[in-house]
């Protein structure tokens, strides 16, 4: 007669991310079900500020993140002692939250400059800014192939396309507001009568750079992309969401973790 074997707790593979993240390693010693790894983690613990969390999502997209605050600024990081947060991770009591991400397909006018349909993803925002400090960016915008403002050319310092999660960042600096659903687009230092719009999350926004140069940045990535005349950007919701684990439920978008 076979005897049932009692299974132990599931072992979580945990990666640490951040300039001082290795300082957290001793806090994991008491827990047999937490194993520190460098590759293929089940969970990523970021130790820093909001930029560190964004960097962790860029490196390990879709893996659950535990953002522990180790910075003077960190609205999206857990401000509790690291030992308490890691204990909650071991006990399985952290709360799962999912946040929409964006993807941006970049179609250069000159195909030799990049692979066709080169795509980046972001949790916060796509940020396009003028490439020369004394030369404005000109662009046009289509929403689901409907031209914005009759196809008017917009002139300014650039634009931002962001998620609700990212609306507390640059979008808020431009508009002094946030949003909780959809995709936000904000125009930087423009003379256009409208400086932002928020569209449904299933909408596709297409931007055409009519006069560059411009520079594209996304989240906290150290990589920048140069944009030239007639380059096209297509922004839509990404199929995968970001997963962030917190010590308690996050009821409002602007509520700190």
What local confidence, expressed as pLDDT, does residue 5 receive?
A: 45
CATH number at residue 70: 3.40.50.10330
What local confidence, expressed as pLDDT, does residue 255 receive?
A: 59
What local confidence, expressed as pLDDT, does residue 191 receive?
A: 86
Does a structural domain hold residue 2?
no
pLDDT exceeds 90 at position 205:
yes
Decide: residue 221, CB within 10 A, 0-12 exposed, 13-18 middle, 19+ buried: middle
CA angle 99–127–161, rounded 5-degree value? 50
Residue 8's pLDDT band (boundaries 50, 70, 90)? low
> Do 50 and 75 lie in a common domain?
yes
Number of domains in the chain: 2
Does a structural domain hold residue 68?
yes
pLDDT exceeds 70 at position 35:
yes
Q: What is the mean pLDDT of the chain?
A: 92
Lowest pLDDT segment from 89-93, 141-145, 248-252, 253-257: 253-257
State pTM to two decimals. 0.89
Does a structural domain hold residue 257?
no
pLDDT exceeds 80 at position 254:
no
Among left, alpha and beta (phi > 0; psi -120 to 50; other), residue 83 is alpha
Residue 6's pLDDT band (boundaries 50, 70, 90)? very low
> Do 23 and 48 lie in a common domain?
yes
Phi–psi pair at 168, nearest 5 degrees: -80, 0
What local confidence, expressed as pLDDT, does residue 114 receive?
A: 55
Torsion, Cα of 206, 210, 215, 219 (10° steps): -20
Does a structural domain hold residue 82?
yes
> Do 122 and 78 lie in a common domain?
no
Residue 51: its H or E element: helix 50-59
pLDDT exceeds 90 at position 251:
no
Strand pairing category for 137-143 and 205-211: antiparallel
Among left, alpha and beta (phi > 0; psi -120 to 50; other), residue 20 is alpha
CATH number at residue 110: 2.60.200.30
Does a structural domain hold residue 108?
yes
> Do 120 and 219 lie in a common domain?
yes
Residue carrying the six token digits 């640059």:
170
Half-sphere exposure of 2 (CA within 13 A, CB side): 3
> Do 154 and 198 lie in a common domain?
yes
> Do 49 and 164 lie in a common domain?
no
What local confidence, expressed as pLDDT, does residue 4 receive?
A: 47
pLDDT exceeds 60 at position 170:
yes
pLDDT exceeds 80 at position 256:
no
User: How is residue 215 written in tokens?
Assistant: 């520079």
> Do 57 and 109 lie in a common domain?
no
Does a structural domain hold residue 1?
no
Does a structural domain hold residue 23?
yes
Query: Which domain, by its residues, includes 27?
Result: 12-99+242-246
> Do 159 and 69 lie in a common domain?
no
Work out the percent of the chain whose per-residue pLDDT is above 90. Answer: 84
> Do 30 and 142 lie in a common domain?
no
> Do 69 and 108 lie in a common domain?
no
pLDDT exceeds 70 at position 90:
yes
Residue 248's pLDDT band (boundaries 50, 70, 90)? confident
> Do 63 and 133 lie in a common domain?
no
Rounded mean pLDDT, 154-181: 95
> Do 196 and 108 lie in a common domain?
yes
């Amino acid at each position: 007669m076979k005897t049932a074997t009692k299974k132990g707790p599931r072992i979580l593979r945990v990666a640490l991310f951040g300039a001082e993240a290795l300082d957290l390693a001793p806090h994991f010693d008491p827990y047999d079900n937490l194993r520190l790894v460098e590759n293929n983690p089940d969970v990523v613990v970021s130790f820093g500020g909001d930029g560190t969390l964004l960097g962790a999502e860029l490196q390990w997209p879709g893996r659950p993140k535990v953002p522990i605050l180790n910075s003077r600024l960190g609205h999206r990081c857990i401000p509790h002692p690291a030992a308490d947060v890691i204990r909650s991770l071991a006990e399985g009591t952290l709360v799962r939250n999912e946040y929409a991400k964006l993807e941006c397909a970049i179609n250069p006018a000159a195909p030799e400059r990049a692979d066709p349909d080169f795509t980046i993803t972001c949790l916060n925002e796509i940020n396009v800014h003028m490439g020369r400090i004394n030369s404005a960016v000109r662009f046009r915008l289509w929403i689901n192939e409907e031209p914005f403002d009759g196809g008017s050319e917009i002139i300014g310092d650039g634009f931002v396309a962001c998620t609700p999660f990212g609306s507390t960042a640059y979008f808020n600096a431009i508009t002094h507001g946030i949003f909780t659903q959809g995709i936000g687009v904000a125009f930087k230092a423009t003379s256009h009568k409208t400086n932002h719009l928020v569209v449904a999350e299933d909408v596709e926004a297409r931007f055409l750079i009519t006069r560059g140069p411009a520079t594209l940045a996304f989240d906290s990535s150290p990589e920048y992309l140069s944009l030239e005349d007639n380059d096209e950007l297509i922004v839509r919701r990404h199929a995968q969401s970001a997963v962030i684990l917190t010590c308690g439920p996050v009821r409002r978008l602007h509520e700190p973790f």
